[in-house]
Amino acid sequence: GEDVEQSLFLSVREGDSSVINCTYTDSSSTYLYWYKQEPGAGLQLLTYIFSNMDMKQDQRLTVLLNKKDKHLSLRIADTQTGDSAIYFCAPRGGYQKVTFGTGTKLQVIP
């Protein structure tokens, strides 16, 4: 099956940019999703990118995709305390199956 790896923890200061990285193994991934999980809640879709794109920008969020290296990143500009959460990378690969990464816990220091 697909392996999706993320670093477990990231700490940034309020107002700085955050970059969360993800590597995956299934080269047939078509959609690549980012989900956010706030404390005590389920996951919510944050943004996604199609596999034929290199970059997608959505307000403070920028998603970069390097298909050759199977690397996905999520950049959050002007990080706020409300961005503190766990972020999951989730490629949609063969047989339309979505595989979730290990999750990166983002801590924003005021």
Partner 1 sequence: DVKVTQSSRYLVKRTGEKVFLECVQDMDHENMFWYRQDPGLGLRLIYFSYDVKMKEKGDIPEGYSVSREKKERFSLILESASTNQTSMYLCASSLGGGGGEQYFGPGTRLTVT
| Residues near partner 1 (CB under 8 A) | 1, 4, 6, 8, 31, 33, 40-45, 48, 88, 92, 95-103
Say whether 93 sits in a helix, a strand or coil: coil
Structure tokens at 70: 């199977």
Nearest approach in angstroms of CB 7 to partner 1 is 11
Q: 14 or 26, CB closer to partner 1?
A: 26
CB-nearer residue toward partner 1: 33 or 72 = 33
Distance in angstroms (rounded) separating the CA atoms of residues 89 and 102: 8
Whichever of 49 and 103 has its CB closer to partner 1, that residue is: 103
Q: How far is the CB of 96 from partner 1 (least distance, A)?
A: 3
> Reading across the β-sheet that carries 18-24, which strands appear in turn?
4-6, 18-24, 71-76, 61-66, 55-58
Is the CB of 10 or the CB of 14 nearer to partner 1? 10
Smallest separation (angstroms) from partner 1 to the CB of 37? 8
- We find the least distance from the C-beta atom of residue 8 to partner 1, in angstroms, to be 6
Nearest CA among 32, 104, 102, 101 for reference residue 63: 32
Alpha-carbon distance 49 to 34, whole Å? 9
